[in-house]
Amino acid sequence: MTEVRIDKGRVELPSGEWGVVPEQNRRERGHTFYPPFEDLAKIPALYATDGQAVEEKTIYLHYFTGGSDWYIAELDPKTGMAFGWARVNYPSGEWGYVNLIELEELCIAPRAVSQGGRLVGIYPQILVERDLHFTPTLARDCLPDDY
């Protein structure tokens, strides 16, 4: 098992290791779901920012699919549990916990839509992706106004 240490509210992993399960959908996604170790090590441990105003929390990762977004502020890389703000197919969102392993595993294959025996369309594949261009940003500067 990977040795995980939490020091001064920061997560420490052996260089280059994530410590949970391998990515199951990397091929379909076309890129890694988890950022490099150097970026993971900068994310505060779970509960490390308790008491900090939400608008002052730094968001380190952004994941998305369709009408859903997950913004990650804290992380336990040993379990994959993360804390942040999420909007899941609704116009508004909320602060809470999400398991990144489960997000990575989510992959719903495309499927045909028929009506009266006739093909009328195709539901696209649903796959959660990491925003590769996202940089750590204060919540007040990257979340919708109603966070």
Task: Output the CA torsion sign for 45, 81, 58, 133.
Answer: positive
- Domain residue limits at 13: 5-140
Each residue's pLDDT expressed in tens, for the chain with a length of 147 residues: 345 455 555 545 554 455 555 688 888 889 889 888 888 889 999 999 999 999 999 999 999 998 899 999 999 888 889 999 999 988 889 999 999 999 998 888 778 888 898 988 887 778 999 999 999 999 999 998 776
Instruction: Tell me if 145 is assigned to some domain.
Output: no
**What is the distance between the alpha carbons of residues 92 and 69, in angstroms, rounded to a whole number?**
10
Q: Flag whether 58 is in a domain.
A: yes
pLDDT of residue 2: 43
| pLDDT at residue number 147 | 65
On whether residue 147 sits in a domain, the answer given is no
Is 121 inside a domain boundary?
yes
Q: Does any domain span residue 53? A: yes
Q: Is residue 146 part of a domain?
A: no
Neighbouring C-beta atoms of residue 32, cutoff 10 Å: 13
Whether 65 is covered by a domain: the verdict is yes
Single-letter residue type at 14: P
Listed residue (90, 85, 84) closest to 67, CA to CA = 90
List the one residue out of 30, 35, 32, 29 whose CA is nearest residue 126.
Answer: 29
Q: Total domain count for the chain?
A: 1
